[in-house]
Amino acid sequence: MAIDSLVLGAGQEVGKSCVVVSINGKRIMFDCGMHMGYTDSRRYPDFSLISNTGDFDNALTCVVVTHFHLDHIGALPYFTEVCGYKGPIYMTYPTKALAPLMLEDYRKNMDRRGEDEQFTSDHITECMKKVIPVDLKQTVQVDKDLQIRAYYAGHVIGAAMFYAKVGDAAMVYTGDYNMTPDRHLGAAQIDRLQLDLVITESTYATTIRDSRYGREREFLKAVHTCIAAGGKVLIPTFALGRAQELCILLEDYWERMNLKVPIYFSAGLTIQANMYYKMLINWTSQKIKETYATRNAFDFKNVRNFDRSLINAPGPCVLFATPGMIVGGFSLEVFMQWAPSEMNLVTLPGYCVAGTIGHKLMSGKPTKIDLDKDTQIDVRCQIHQLSFSPHTDAKGIMDLVKFLSPKHAILVHGEKPKMATLKERIQSELGIPCYCPANNETVTVPSTHYVKADASETFIRSCLNPNFKFSTYSSVDKSYLDSKYSKAASGLQVSDERVAEGILVVEKGKKAKVIHQDELLLMLGDKKHEVQFAYCFPMHTERLQKTRTEELPSADTLLCDLDKCTLINQLSMKLSNELSDANILDLGEQLQVESFRVSICSKNSCPHRLSHSVHNDSESVFLCCHWSLRDEKLAWKIISIMKSSSPHTT
């Protein structure tokens, strides 16, 4: 069994996330994003790799979308409406609610730029009708075999990591996530799962970011200083996510500092988005959920709607205006008015696309900006750059992978050289095989397959009763300590033997069964066999013989019983001297130490006698030894003692 991951997008790049995973005959498409950097065919994932014939409904079991960012959802209307996929699509409730806003916004912008329309408004509506919303930690049975479950991912509202399980094979696709909370969203949260594969984003594969508090502090300080001096603050921002985060930050600060300066939201998307946020309280951070009992945190107290007439009103204010990066629209309009005054402040998002005014402002402070041939803006205002990012950093990725401890990991959504570094780290530090495939490559990893087995009653009963054993250094083999796996060994160890007592029996044509070890013989109808070791060796007894000849003239006869006993007796004394702690039993004709038995061999050709040692020495007597496996060491020790010191010293 294996899991195949076909990376259609975001392989060694950021953009158009799309991974098709086949597990046990099921095929799931995770995310269906578009690349914002291209306008040609590279904009969308190459769907033809899924199915040549275009019969996506049979090729895919379902589509799962993690969150509403365009690089994760942008290609969805195209895929469903243009390519004709009609199967189920899963996303969380907030994603379903907010995705149309995003797509529509994108479509309008495309329109404005005069590009070809990839999909229409109707397409979006139709596409959304196919979406099945899921809740967090809700296990959805997609079909008989496939289960999916969403976990909180932070990042943006409604972002989720998805767990998918077919049979015994299980995997997690993280989408984008954030391991540290921000002002309105919590940190990613997932259970400890048994996983074969984790596919994780790696936007910051090598970066370790500082605490966000520093950035917040800078931002608040800049805003506060500006309004304290009577200036106006323009915050051009995208409507969803960042606007709410910053607004909560400011609102909280206003509250604490008793500030009365107005905060405005420009009309448009932002108001609508706020409305959604108010409804999606469940998906925010602990703090906002807690305060919800008294007040909805998105019911901003100090926030008012902006009116065009207020642009030139006197006095300080803070304004959130769309679109971000000042590409046009209202934020540009306000910027043109406010930029010429030194008192005013413009905060820019961390990333601005080249060619936008935002980008120009960021790359060195210009004094004049040429808007077009006729218009020139005099820029004297202060510029503050925000560098908030809702992605986790390298440490966060490592922490998550460590926590989940999957058997394999795949990195997507990152830059190639950085991903290679992270891949090395995951492999060396965590010992997890890791891959970072390029686009349109397939990675195959083995998956878990469990065999269902019945259990016998005795086994179940034995499982109910604890059966732990303790061991200490002395009983642990030294070689074991030195070995690579010695980590777990320590002074005092405890183990529970219950499982070891079970025996898996697989009979032909029958279901596998686990039985208790005592039952095995019964079941097989067989007797118990035990491995016995035997060794027969000569012992020189010259001195012994000599003394004896005087008494017994016919010395060549076999040693009589009495002599045997004397010899054994002498051996016994010898051994008890050497092995002080062993329990030596002298049974007359034979000697027993644990399972080791030695007696004088009376046979001429003992089968246990090694051939080369057979040299018919009349002056030797043969000792025949038997022992079972567990006393092997002891046995050889005794034999060497007996060999080294023939009892003639007596």
Partner 1 sequence: MEQHVMNSIEQSLNNNQPLSSQTLASLRSLIINPTTSDSSLSSLLDALTRSLRLTRDSVFLHHCLKLLTDLSARRPHLSPFAVDLLRSDSLFSSASPRLVGESLSALLSLTSSQNDIDAARFVSLCLGPSVPVRLWLLKNAEKFAIRESVLLAVFLGFTRDPFPYVRKAAVDGLVKLCKNGDFNDRDVIEGCYCRAVELLRDAEDNVRSAAVRAVYDWGKLLVISSEERNKQDSSDAVFIQLCCMVRDMSMEVRLEAFEALGKIGLVSEDILLQTLFKKVLGINKDKIYKPIKVFEISASAAAGAFVHGLEDEFSEVRMSACYSLHTFTVFSSQFAGEALNLLMDMLNDDSKIVRLQALNTMHHMATCNHLKVEEIHMHSFLSTLFDSCSVIRSATRKILKLAKLMKLELFKLCIDGLLGNLETYPQDEVDVFSVLFHIGRNHGKFTVLMIEEVSTELEPAFGGKLGFDSTRVAAFLVLAISAPLSNESDVCGVPSRIFSYAVTWLGRISYALSDVMNRETLLAYLSKCSRSSTISLADFKIKEALPTVKGDMPSHLCSEVGSPVSMPLWQKGVETFDHHHQKLFLGKSGTHLEYGLRECDELRQSVNLVFRKVKDLWSLVQLGCTNEALKAIRACKEEVASFTTDSPGSAGAVAFTLQYLRVIKLLAAVWEHLMPTKKLNCYGVGKLELLLGKLDRRLREIRNKFIGLSKAEELQILELIVVACLLRLSKIEICCYDTAMKKLSSIISHVEILRKGGPIEPSHFIIEVKKLLNDIGSSSGGSTCKPLLFKKLIDSFSLHQFVLGGSPRHINAELEVPGNDSENPLPFIPGIPASIPLAITLYNVLSEHRLWLRISMGEESTQFVFLDLNLIRSSDEVREFTFVAPFYLTPKAISFALRVSIGIECLQENVHQVKAFGGPKRELAYLCPEEEIFLCKSTKW
What CA dihedral angle connects 133, 136, 142 and 145, to 10 degrees?
Answer: 180
Q: Which stretch binds partner 1 (CB under 8 A): 33-41, 182-190, 233-241, 589-597?
A: 182-190
> Which CB sits closer to partner 1, 179 or 567?
179
Regarding 461 and contact with partner 1 (CB under 8 A), the answer is: yes
Whole-number Å distance between alpha carbons of 138 and 165: 13
Q: How far is the CB of 489 from partner 1 (least distance, A)?
A: 5
Q: Which of residues 621-650 bind partner 1 (CB under 8 A)?
A: none
Instruction: Give the helix, strand, coil percentages of the chain, each rounded to 5.
Output: 35, 25, 40
Q: Which of 13, 81, 201, 251 is catalytic?
A: 201
Regarding 286 and contact with partner 1 (CB under 8 A), the answer is: yes
The DSSP result for 199-237, as a single string, is EEE-TTSS-----HHHHHHHHHHHHHHHHHTT-EEEEE-
Quote the distance between the C-alpha of residue 513 and its chain's center. Answer: 32
Size of the site for partner 1 (CB under 8 A): 56
- Tell which one of 253, 351, 535, 636 touches partner 1 (CB under 8 A): 253
Residues 483-512: x where in contact with partner 1 by CB under 8 A, - otherwise, as a string: ---xxxxxxxxxxx----------------
Regarding 190 and contact with partner 1 (CB under 8 A), the answer is: yes
Regarding 577 and contact with partner 1 (CB under 8 A), the answer is: no
| Token pair 């993280």: residue | 174
Instruction: Please report which helix (H) or strand (E) contains residue 513, including its range.
Output: strand 512-516
> Which CB sits closer to partner 1, 450 or 468?
468
Task: Note whether 154 and 185 are within 8 A (CB).
Answer: yes
* DSSP-derived pairing of the beta strands 160-166 and 146-152: antiparallel
- Tell which one of 192, 510, 528, 529 touches partner 1 (CB under 8 A): 192
Regarding 301 and contact with partner 1 (CB under 8 A), the answer is: no
Q: Can you give the C-alpha Rg of the chain in angstroms?
A: 40
Whole-number Å distance between alpha carbons of 392 and 422: 13
Assess whether 245 carries a catalytic annotation. Answer: no
Q: How far is the CB of 291 from partner 1 (least distance, A)?
A: 9
> Which CB sits closer to partner 1, 398 or 411?
398
Regarding 450 and contact with partner 1 (CB under 8 A), the answer is: no
Whole-number Å distance between alpha carbons of 415 and 409: 16
Residues forming beta bridges with residue 86, ordered by sequence position: none
Q: How far is the CB of 634 from partner 1 (least distance, A)?
A: 25
CA triple 381-384-386, angle to 5 deg: 155
Q: Which stretch binds partner 1 (CB under 8 A): 9-17, 464-472, 503-511, 616-624?
A: 464-472
Regarding 384 and contact with partner 1 (CB under 8 A), the answer is: no
> Which CB sits closer to partner 1, 78 or 162?
162
- Tell which one of 109, 285, 456, 458 touches partner 1 (CB under 8 A): 285
What CA dihedral angle connects 309, 310, 315 and 319, to 10 degrees?
Answer: -160
> Which CB sits closer to partner 1, 1 or 463?
463
Residues forming beta bridges with residue 199, ordered by sequence position: 173, 410
Residues 208-247: x where in contact with partner 1 by CB under 8 A, - otherwise, as a string: xxxxxxx-xx--xx--x-----------------------
- Tell which one of 287, 384, 608, 648 touches partner 1 (CB under 8 A): 287
Q: What is the token pair recorded at 486?
A: 């010695």
Letter string b/e over residues 538-571, b meaning 16 or more CB atoms within 10 A of that residue's CB:
bbebeebbeeeeeeeeeeeeebeeebbbbbbebb
- Contacts to partner 1 by CB under 8 A: 179-181, 183, 186-187, 189-192, 208-214, 216-217, 220-221, 224, 252-253, 255-258, 285-287, 393, 395, 399, 403, 461, 463-466, 468, 470, 472-473, 481, 486-496
Positions marked catalytic: 201
